Amino acid sequence: MTTRTDLYTIVSQLMQPGKGLLAADESDATAEKRLALAELPNSAGNRQDFRELLFTAPGVEEFLSGAILFDSTMHESTDKGVPFVDVLIARGIVPGIKVDAGNSPLPQFPGEVLTEGLDHLGTRFKEYFELGARFAKWRGVISIGDGIPTDEMLELNAHQMAAYSLLAQEAGIVPIVEPEVLFPGSHSIREAEDATTRTLAILFKVLARYRVDLKGLILKSSMVLAGDTHETQSTPDEVAAATLRTFKLSVPREVGGIVFLSGGQTPKRATENLQAIASYGAQPWPMTFSYSRAVQEPVLTTWQGKPENIPVAQKVFYNRLKLNSLAQQGKYDSEKDK
């Protein structure tokens, strides 16, 4: 039987200094956007080939402590028949699983959505644990606009996350809660800070009410920055100051760790902002990256689905992870990121 201590050990493994999480949990449908960067059709074979390229890249275990997978990926293997989960475990990379089922419009709340996926989740967790998963992820989607996000929507989604977290911890799986405040939009950094602060304050109030063990939980958060179409884009120092201010107002100190999503930022910008946050020094929580497109995009454009490009694409992946590892430690030099 898994104990609380086991959960804390998993959190410690995931939050190792200099390492981050690979978000390779795109659904089979969403993978189309990724493969389009390499001008490839969204076929099962292409998805499998790309994930094998990532998971077998030489040396990436130096910078990765965990990898979040989609359900189908949990059951996939390399071309030689080795399950991807076993490949990761052998390299000291903890396998994780995305368990939410996406979102749907929330009736009576225009422009807002509710995450789904609680049906039979306890049973699914038992199966994923047997497959090797030791952490999971549940994503909520928060848009900024006229009158939104509403506190009602934020609280309803927080209840979903609390139920998910309780089921995960009962199964011996560390829950990652990801209330993503979307980057696309014309909102200012001040509006993003307000929305993110309210989102997190409501989330942790609900998690505490339902007795979720915060030491055995990880927050995956957006950075606080102006929307991608706002007339003035946020500088790294503005992002760092607003993000840390938000966390200190809304995230309990006992939370096991915080990982950042890139949320549509360019690879270099996501790394620069991570460096700016780290430059403020030690915080109450360990913090690191959990990027998807921000580490995958340069790999895909290099690979292009050609076997002969795999070695150089894997080097690109290694180097992108190394830069984020340096940024997590406050040692990144943007002048060397060409």
Contact yes or no for 61/93 (Cβ under 8 A)? yes
AA identity, residue 290: S
Contact yes or no for 27/290 (Cβ under 8 A)? no
Q: Kindly name the residue from 112, 178, 191, 297 that is annotated as catalytic.
A: 178
Q: Identify the helix (H) or strand (E) that includes residue 236.
A: helix 236-250
Is 178 among the catalytic positions?
yes
Q: Which of 214, 215, 201, 180 is nearest to 248 (CA)?
A: 201
Contact yes or no for 278/330 (Cβ under 8 A)? yes
Is 61 among the catalytic positions?
no
Angle in degrees, CA 294, 198, 218, rounded to 5: 50
Cβ neighbors of 305 (< 8 A, separation 6 or more) are 38, 39, 40, 46, 49
- C-alpha 25, offset from chain centre: 9
Q: Kindly name the residue from 137, 191, 220, 297 that is annotated as catalytic.
A: 220
Residues known to be catalytic: 178, 220
